Structure 1
Amino acid sequence: MKKAVACIFLAVFLAGCGGVTNIITVPTPKETGLYHKIRKGETLWKISKTYGVDIQTIASANKLPDKERVFIGQLLFIPQGVAEEKLAKRSAEAGFIWPIRGNVLSFYGSYKDGVKNKGIDIKARHGEAIIASRSGKISFVDENMKGFGKTIIIDHEDDYSSVYAYSSQILVAVGQHVRQGTVIAKAGQTGRAASPRLHFEIRKKHKPQNPFYFLQ
């Protein structure tokens, strides 16, 4: 009797194994949306404006690390996104450019001595030119801001602003309008900077954002 049961069990098991190779698992989308392939000159911010989807929603849906930038050819899932050809108009608004070129020494969200970095720190040469990342109006200047040294804030349109700190020299004044690319300061090592560098932030309604989502 036991032998008969064992034979039946073996037959069922083998039949099951033979069918496994024909099974194809098709993932079921958890939410509607579409995919976007990143092109030259695009940033996460521009893509979010193009599709009308919040930048943090896109970042979360794609599990984008704070320390990594999006790249040309990368495929992003846009939750609730509408096909580009159905949009009335793609955003042609000028984005943010790098205020200085150099290696990133400290990333957004990182901690040092218990202090969270609300922007990024970019390596620089002492006296190197710092430019306005985007056109706007100088709203704040401080020659000795606690922890940040010589600091500048530029107000842009649509509730955005950018912050530039650790400078050795400030070349603009409050109320002055500057165009993107205008030299506004010279890099240095003021505040709590451990070496010549620029501390750079992008804020929306005074709330810090990850600069990597905006810089092109």
Structure 2
Amino acid sequence: MRRVLFLALLGLSACAIPRSQAPFEAGPAAAPAEIVPEPPRARERWQPGQVIADAVRVETQTYIVQAGDALSLIAERTGSAVRTIARANRLQPPYKIYPGQRLEIPGGRYHRVRRGDTGIAIALAYKTDWDEIVQANALDAPFLLRIGQRLFLPDAASPQRAETMDAPADTPEPAPSELAAFNVDIDDIITGGEPAIAEEDAPAERASALPEPAPFDGRFTWPVEGRLLSSFGAKAGGLYNDGINIAADKGAPVRAAATGTVIYAGNGVEGWGNLVLLKHDEDWVSAYAHNDAFYVQRGDRVGRGEVIAEVGQTGSVTRPQLHFELRQGRKAVDPRAHLPTG
């Protein structure tokens, strides 16, 4: 997983984005002069909450199935997890077992999910990549966590140096805390940002309770007017940018690039600042980072050109700007290839 530190520092050379390249759909007709429309109000920012890192270590052991046992009961008795035991013993749903059967119980650390826990927060609490937790527990899309569920935690990997981008040769190295913050990326937020929900509210086949977005016509528009600070793609020194960074005045409106549903609006991940993610259909997601005020919250449906936030200077940036990404599936694509050129 590529780690990208979105630093757009003062002094970077920037290309101008002509205003003609950032058209926005016209809004409703202006109100009569005597009527002053009420400005949009900032919405409450979703926070992932603090995860209590109290994982229990389970020793590797063998369990002999007793009459009346179920895999869930065995997991509870041993402190392990249903799917972890199933994978270790090559059991397939509905996980039929029989008395006298010998089951291998994998040893390791297991975290019990509490109300409000998210995959991101759990990963950060244990300094383990969320995608490794997904793989270790064979979690399936849409990666919903259940209250009381146990997650097997793979051993934390050695810290990896996050990548920076577009930093001039005389730019000082980012602080270690800034680098560590980027053990979480857009994919993690999309798949691990959902708060845990009660078991009875989440049958295995059920997807997220988010409303489906309005039909997406495949068109995107520029989310903000401004100067290009950093383009998409490879940079000098083996660095990479998964989106584009656009300089704009603090408080400038940030608009939805297309019709969609808000799947995340918060500042629970260091470095990104205030981040909004919009889901447009089963393939496309757009990301808007370093915002100031939010005008949307998770579950809101928005139209193309609707104001969703204000440009800010939050996260690991030193000037007001918007970091904008387009993702098709799990792949970041160059936004400018899908935005109007004139």
TM-score by length of 1: 0.54
**2:278 matched residue in structure 1:** 154
Q: Is the contact made by 1:121 and 1:199 (CA closer than 8 Å) also made in structure 2?
A: yes
Of Structure 1 and Structure 2, which has the larger fraction of its residues in strand? 1
Q: 1:132 aligns with which of 256, 261, 265?
A: 256
- The aligned residue for residue 190 of structure 1 is 314
Counterpart in 2 of 1:47?
none
Residue 173 (structure 1) aligns with: 297
Match of 1:212 in 2: 336
Q: Secondary structure at the match of 2:326?
A: strand
TM-score, L = length of structure 2: 0.35
Q: Distance in 2 between matches of 1:167 and 1:103?
A: 16
Extract unaligned runs of 5+ from structure 2: 1-20, 22-215
Rounded to whole Å, the distance in 2 between the matches of 1:131 and 1:151 is 13
| Distance in structure 2 (CA, Å) of the matches to 1:112 and 1:193 | 19
Residue 213 of structure 1: how far off its partner (Å): 0.8
Cα-to-partner distance string for 1:175-211 (whole Å, 9 max, x where unaligned): 0000001100000111111210000000011211100
Match of 1:142 among 252, 262, 266: 266
CA distance, structure 2, for counterparts of residue 138 and residue 188 of structure 1:
19
2:244 maps to a residue whose letter is I
Query: Where in structure 2 are the equivalents of 1:67-86 lying within 5 Å?
Result: none
| 1:144–1:191 contact (8 Å) kept in structure 2 | no
Return the offset for 1:142: 1.8
Higher relative contact order (CA 8 A, sep 6+): 2
TM-superposition CA deviations, 1:40-69 (whole Å, max 9, x none): x9xxxxxxxxxxxxxxxxxxxxxxxxxxxx
Corresponding residue SS for 1:145: coil
Query: Separation in 1 of the partners of 2:238 and 2:265?
Result: 26
Q: Distance in 2 between matches of 1:182 and 1:112?
A: 36
Q: Where in structure 1 are there 5+ consecutive unaligned residues?
A: 1-40, 42-91
- CA separation in 1, counterparts of 2:234 and 2:324? 14
| Cα distance between partner residues in 1 of 2:234 and 2:283 | 25
The alignment yields a C-alpha RMSD, in angstroms, of: 2.1
Larger Rg: 1
Alignment partner of 2:310: what SS? strand
Instruction: Tell me if the contact between 1:124 and 1:187 (Cα under 8 Å) persists in the aligned partners.
Output: yes
Aligned length: 126
**Deviation at 1:115?**
5.2
Could you report, residue by residue, the CA deviation over 1:77-120 in whole angstroms, capped at 9, with x for unpaired residues? xxxxxxxxxxxxxxx93510000011110111144897521100
Amino acid aligned to 1:175: G
Q: Secondary structure at the match of 1:202?
A: strand
Does 2:287 match 1:163?
Answer: yes
Query: Which residue number corresponds to residue 325 of structure 2?
Result: 201
Distance 1:114 1:126, change over 3 A: farther
Q: Distance in 1 between matches of 2:329 and 2:264?
A: 15
Give SS of 2:223's match.
coil
Q: What aligned pairs does 1:64-103 form with structure 2 within 5 A after superposition? A: 93-103=217-227
Distance in 1 between residues matched to 2:275 and 2:247, nearest whole Å = 16
Secondary structure at 2:233 match in 1: coil
